Amino acid sequence: MVGSIQSLYKIPDLRKRITFVLLMCIVYRLGGIIPIPGINAQALVAYMSGLNNSLLGMYDMFVGGSFTKMTIFALGIMPYISASIIIQLLGSVVPYFQRLSKEGEEGRKKITQYTRYGTVFLSAAQAFGIAKWLERLEPVSGVPIVSSPGFGFTLLVMITVVSGTVFLMWLGEQMTEHGIGNGISIIIFIGIIARFPYAMKMQVTELLAGTMNPIAFVIFLAFLVIVVAAVVLLTQGQRRIRVQYPKKVVGRKIYGGQSTYIPLRVNTAGVIPIIFAQAIMFVPQTAATMIPWEFLKQVSAYFQMTHPVYWIFYGSLIIFFTYFYTAIVFNPVDLADNLKKYGAVIPQKPPGKKTAEHIDKILTRITLPGSVFLALIAIMPFFMIRFARVNPEFASFFGGTGLLIVVGVALDTLQQIEAKMVERHYEGLLKGAKVRGRR
């Protein structure tokens, strides 16, 4: 392994790309400690400590703790992710965006530009909401969170936060172009793992205090290794459909006739179903926090993380959104039409409608176990907290969105590094390992 890492730095281009990514990650973390002016940091932290199990607490995990500190990167890169998802959804229902997606490079450039405009709009709207929400917060121990509320404070928050989000969007694009891996994904990755040392410290503190049995903790760590391995299998899992291309005779030579395959992923939707489901599940608690209605308090009691109703409803939403989002991003009819256009056929399946039905049938079958496993991974932290008495901060890293993002980004970056090393006749980082993406 040490030799492989040394070989990695022998490649000048790869060394420059990795160094660039590391420097940009440092810039991101430095920006995460610069606070927005006009906010009492101590009073804000005291208030935010009670919102860990709300939508705001989930949001804070993605931005590396910048939201609870109200730094210039308080929104992180999430407005860009939201804008990308919205544009992707529009691409399946709006004819104009459907045409853009089929126009090649020019269409992709226009879609990217619309995504940037959407990012600015969403971040401005969210920044305005944050400013007004901060102004309405009650003082903590007699200390107001916002010292000088009003139009000036609202404008200051909007300019600062929107500028921070746009800068992160630009930073992610630079990391993608001049670095290694997907820059936007790496920014989210860094934000999640930035809180891991603190979570580990809290878990060790509770372990030393006797809250958890040391033997049970060792067994728990072994179980987590199995869970991470299972998530890797889920992320990499594919169902391959064999496709046969026809032979063509040109002069005295025969071209084509080769056999290839279509890889259908077990988890085509990725982490999007968990993000959608979490956003819905945290709405009752967040609404009860902001609106003091007795009815909302009664409803939110059933949506506490320790209540069985929460687990059942949450898991069901994930399964539903997995099928919903898979149907949006993967169209068997379009795939069947493209195969027919190039003369390719699936053995024993007529081209056209029958091929589309066959692909859709296989996709439906493999999505079911993928969605169920995704739901189990998502609700696993709640079982850890309740039955294994694991610290909530620590448990959040080994279940749900956080674990899937960390594993997915790590695998994607590793695949790109492997490909570049093998291109230059170096052995990959993992000798003998079958990492998909290695050439």
Q: What does the DSSP assignment read for 19-32?
A: HHHHHHHHHHHHHT
Among the listed residues 220, 226, 324, the one whose alpha carbon sits nearest the alpha carbon of residue 274: 324
Q: In one letter, which amino acid is 88? A: Q
- pLDDT tens across 304-348, in order? 766 778 788 888 888 988 888 888 888 888 888 888 887 788 888
Query: What is the structure's pLDDT at 130?
Result: 84
Query: What is the structure's pLDDT at 162?
Result: 93
Predicted model pTM: 0.77
Q: Which domains does the chain have, with CATH numbers?
A: 1-194+426-439 (1.10.3370.10), 212-398 (1.10.3370.10)
Extract the residue ranges of the chain whose pLDDT is less than 50: 437-439
User: What number of H helices and E strands is found in the chain?
Assistant: 20, 4
Close Cβ partners of 420 (under 8 Å, ≥ 6 residues apart): 11, 13, 14, 180
Q: What does the DSSP assignment read for 348-401?
A: TS-TTHHHHHHHHHHHHHHHHHHHHHHHHHHHHHHHHHHHS---HHHHGGGSHH
Query: What is the structure's pLDDT at 163?
Result: 93
